[in-house]
Amino acid sequence: MLGYTITQWLFGILSFLAIMFALMVVFTRNPVNSVLYLVLTFFCIAGHYLLLNAQFLAVVHIVVYAGAIMVLFLFIIMLMNLNADTEPRKHIVTRVIAGVVGGVLLFVVVGALKGAEQLQIVQGGASQIGLVKNLGKVLFSEFLFPFEIASILLLAALVGAIMIGKRDTNINLK
């Protein structure tokens, strides 16, 4: 088809959708729509993982980000009842400053990417490392220490969250 393989077509379409949804996250006025566009962006990124033959990463990405974290985001935004109507109008000075800062950041990013085309892009399509079996073997042998450190970090965050939740009830009891 027009000299491109199916994979290239899929990559093009997914990239276009991912960038479009990411822009929509920023440009929609309604916070709930923003969150939903972010979920769609995550789906597109999961599609990219699939193209790289990293199925496990793709599905875990959906389970963790789309299925858990974004649901909590949605919970908070729905319960706070943020709407396009209730969003405060920003002062003109704030807007100008935000525009300038954003422009400078864009400048830095573009500058950092200058010369990126000289980098060798490793073809990932034929790699088998993303399959569950290979990933598990690597994680539990070569990268066991960082893996366990990450689990301790998560445990600490879990305990911290419970502590914050608990303190509230103690104050109420007194």
Partner 1 sequence: MTAFIIYKAIMCAAVFLLSLGVAAYATLWERKFAAFLQDRKGPSRAGPGGIFQPLADGVKMFMKEEIIPNVSNRSLFIIGPCLFMVTAVMTSVVIPWAKPMMVGGHMYDLQITDINIGTIYLLGVVSIGVYGIMIGGWASNNKFALLGAVRASSQMISYEIAMGIALIALIISSGGSLSLKDIIEGQDKGFANIVWQPLGFLIFFICALAETNRAPFDLPECETELVGGYHTEYSSMKLGLFLFAEYINMFISSAIMAGFYFGGYNFPFSSELYASLGLQEGDWLISLIGFGAYFTKIVLFICLFMWVRWTLPRFRYDQLMNLGWKTLLPLSLFNLALTVVVEYFRGNIHF
Q: Which residues bind partner 1 (CB under 8 A)?
A: 30, 32-33, 36, 39, 55-56, 59-60, 62-63, 66-68, 71, 74-75, 78-79, 131-132
Note the Cα 160 to chain centre separation in Å.
23
Task: Report, in Å, the least distance between residue 32 CB and partner 1.
Answer: 7
Closest contact distance (angstroms) between CB of 74 and partner 1 is 6
Of 124, 146, 34, the C-alpha closest to 83 is 34
Closest CA to 58 of 67, 70, 50: 50
Shortest Cβ 77–partner 1 spacing (Å): 9
DSSP result, 120-134: PPPP-TT--TTSHHH
- Name residues whose C-beta falls within 8 Å of residue 170's C-beta, 6 or more positions apart in sequence: none
Tokens 């995550």 belong to which residue? 42
- At closest approach, how far in Å is the CB of 61 from partner 1? 9
Query: Whose Cβ is closer to partner 1: residue 11's or residue 30's?
Result: 30
Nearer to partner 1, 90 or 137 (CB): 137
Complex with partner 1: residue 64 or 100, whichever CB lies closer? 64
Closer Cβ to partner 1, 14 or 39, answer by number:
39
Q: If residue 56 lies in a helix (H) or strand (E), which one and from where to where?
A: helix 55-61
